């Protein structure tokens, strides 16, 4: 937690910014960003200007989906064909810029050596716990669903297949399938999280600003972020977080129910989706949400240092166990080949693929390429951006004390490599079983939520498949609980002006119930597609905030390097010492300096 400092000290530091020696090219940073919070009642400790609008918007989305389902679905379909398509280029180029900025900050020696916090401060968590929490909160659920689902989907259809360069479901299609899979689960995802987390954590831990989204923009806008503009930024972040987590929950709930069905918990759990596949029934969705959100809410009440930390460690242990099974019993050598070739293809094609934007040219092929990109790349970029306020805040909370270089490599490289390994071995096993004829099309024919279990059913004996599928169900549950309770805590941290301690019980309960209603209503309304479209639209406002965050963190880092060169303090603690030594007056006007 941040060390408390006197109001006089904070005021003096910021007041001095307007009176800096003209010979200095840059003033000390803003080290105080006051946010009005209520001091009594139900919203004690909360910024009501953020908490109430956020709750109203999410509640309206729920009521819209429940009471006007036909209108909601029609609106979503129109949005899918107009708004999302119109902004597809924005999502593609923004994510490419995030990769470039993160790489530059980490690789430049001067910026990479800057610490997220006071000089010499040790990190709060060990590297293993840090990586576990990064992995579990970031992509754990989606990785379980897509570890087999995405390689198989691109094995059957990807841009090379659409162009007619390779045949679908053939050995030649495997290489391009992994190139596109790694593109979606690589640096694009993790640099989005890393940039948002760095923009927040850098100013929060170095300058003692509140651990909230608006603080990341203080290097550009100074203390003006204390007012309406800051409230609006935080509200947008809260709504994006709820919708981003709703997609993850929707995927997790469907796979959780499919797993329960696989281990014999009853045929009532599944229903015909109408396209030849099975999907979770309405009753199963409701019961699963009651169990999972209930467990998540209880875990959230225990806080990040206990429930989330231990659940994340359990997640990582079970994940490694399942990965070892695919590596030893499944396609171990084939998986290694896919991993090596996939990484090579991913790295060598990353600049071109990151900047590729398919356009309609009036041909069937052109239309198919555009639709493929909307269904996959644009969906992912929007998902990562919607997930970024939650994951970025969470990463910022647990990354104090690390250098920018260690932070970026840890957040962007290590989890991406884990996703690649997972998809190479799990997805490679599924593809090899299909190519060899052992699966006889059963894995490809299964719904995406059931493909991991279908792979286990083909690979193992019935008894062993039941045991491992049961472990996957447990792993899914712990991943779901970790992600949801982390999201609830982060939303309350944003609403609480950066504070994550104190009485938050009723608000934790509200967000747990709200998440379950968002997911349940959307899944029953139109399945995961309804949540996906809602999330992509909801991510659009926050994507604008992310773009400004890029500029803000670059300015903050560059100005700190200039400050260090000229002996101007760059951290809150150093500012206090410097002001004491220089005996600056305490009765000057506040500054907007960053």
Low-confidence residues of the chain: pLDDT under 50:
1-20, 304-305, 502-503, 585-593
How far apart are alpha carbons 301 and 299 in whole angstroms?
5
Q: pLDDT tens-digit profile of 161-192?
A: 999 999 999 999 999 999 999 999 999 999 99
Kindly report the pTM of this predicted structure.
0.86
Candidates 420, 416, 425; CA nearest to 332 is: 425
CA dihedral in degrees (485, 491, 492, 493; nearest 10)? 110
Q: What is the pLDDT of residue 9?
A: 46
Q: pLDDT tens-digit profile of 193-213?
A: 999 999 999 999 988 899 899
How far apart are alpha carbons 509 and 492 in whole angstroms?
11
How far apart are alpha carbons 395 and 417 in whole angstroms?
18
Candidates 13, 111, 112; CA nearest to 562 is: 111
Q: What is the pLDDT of residue 143?
A: 73
Q: What is the pLDDT of residue 338?
A: 95
What is 47-577's CATH number?
Answer: 1.20.1740
H-assigned helices in 186-268: 187-207, 218-221, 228-262
Q: What is the pLDDT of residue 591?
A: 42
Domain ranges of the chain: 47-577
């Amino acid at each position: 937690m941040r060390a408390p400092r006197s109001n006089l000290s904070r005021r003096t530091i910021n007041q001095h910014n307007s009176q800096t020696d003209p010979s200095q090219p840059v003033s000390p940073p803003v080290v105080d960003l006051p946010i009005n919070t209520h001091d009594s009642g139900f919203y004690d400790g909360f910024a009501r200007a953020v908490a109430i609008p956020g709750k109203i918007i999410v509640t309206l989305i729920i009521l819209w989906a429940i009471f006007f389902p036909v209108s909601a679905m029609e609106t979503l379909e129109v949005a899918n064909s107009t708004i999302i398509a119109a902004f597809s280029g924005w999502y593609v180029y923004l994510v490419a810029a995030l990769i470039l900025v993160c790489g530059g900050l980490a690789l430049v020696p001067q910026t990479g050596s800057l610490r997220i916090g006071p000089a010499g401060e040790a990190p709060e968590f060990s590297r293993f716990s840090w990586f576990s929490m990064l992995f579990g909160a970031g992509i754990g659920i989606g990785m379980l669903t897509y570890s087999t689902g995405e390689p198989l989907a691109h094995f059957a259809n990807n841009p090379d297949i659409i162009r007619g360069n390779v045949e679908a479901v053939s050995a030649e299609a495997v290489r391009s399938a992994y190139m596109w899979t790694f593109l979606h689960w690589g640096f694009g995802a993790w640099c989005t999280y890393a940039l948002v987390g760095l923009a927040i954590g850098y100013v929060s831990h170095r300058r003692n600003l509140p651990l909230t989204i608006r603080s990341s923009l203080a290097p550009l806008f100074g203390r003006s972020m204390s007012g309406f503009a800051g409230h609006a930024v935080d509200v947008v972040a809260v709504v994006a977080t709820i919708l981003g987590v709703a997609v993850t929950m929707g995927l997790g709930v469907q796979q959780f129910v499919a797993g329960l069905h696989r281990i014999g918990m009853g045929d009532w759990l599944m229903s015909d989706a109408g396209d030849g596949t099975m999907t979770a029934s309405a009753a199963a969705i409701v019961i699963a949400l009651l169990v999972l959100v209930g467990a998540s809410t209880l875990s959230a009440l225990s806080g990040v240092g206990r429930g989330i930390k231990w659940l994340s460690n359990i997640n990582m242990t079970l994940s490694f166990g399942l990965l070892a099974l695919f590596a030893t019993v499944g396609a171990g050598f084939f998986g290694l080949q896919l991993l090596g070739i996939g990484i090579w293809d991913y790295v060598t094609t990353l600049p071109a693929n990151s900047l590729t934007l398919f356009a309609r040219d009036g041909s069937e092929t052109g239309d198919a390429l555009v639709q493929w990109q909307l269904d996959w790349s644009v969906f992912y970029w929007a998902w990562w951006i919607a997930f970024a306020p939650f994951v970025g805040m969470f990463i910022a909370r647990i990354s104090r004390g690390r250098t920018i270089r260690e932070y970026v490599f840890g957040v962007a490289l290590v989890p991406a490599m884990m996703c690649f390994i997972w998809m190479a071995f799990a997805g490679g096993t599924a593809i090899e079983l299909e190519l060899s004829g052992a699966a006889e099309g059963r894995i490809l024919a299964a719904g995406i939520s059931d493909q991991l279990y279908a792979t286990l059913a083909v690979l193992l004996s019935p008894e062993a498949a039941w045991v491992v599928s049961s472990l996957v169900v447990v792993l899914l549950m712990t991943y779901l609980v970790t992600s949801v309770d982390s999201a609830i805590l982060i939303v309350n941290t944003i609403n609480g002006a950066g504070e994550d301690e104190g009485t938050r019980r009723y608000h934790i309960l509200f967000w747990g119930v709200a998440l379950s209603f968002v997911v349940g209503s959307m899944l029953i309304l139109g399945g995961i597609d309804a949540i996906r479209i809602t999330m992509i639209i909801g991510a659009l406002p926050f994507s604008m905030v992310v773009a400004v965050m890029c500029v803000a963190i670059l300015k903050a880092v560059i100005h700190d390097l200039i400050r260090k060169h000229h002996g101007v303090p760059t951290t809150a603690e150093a500012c206090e010492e410097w002001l004491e030594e220089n005996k600056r007056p305490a009765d000057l006007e506040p500054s907007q300096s960053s």
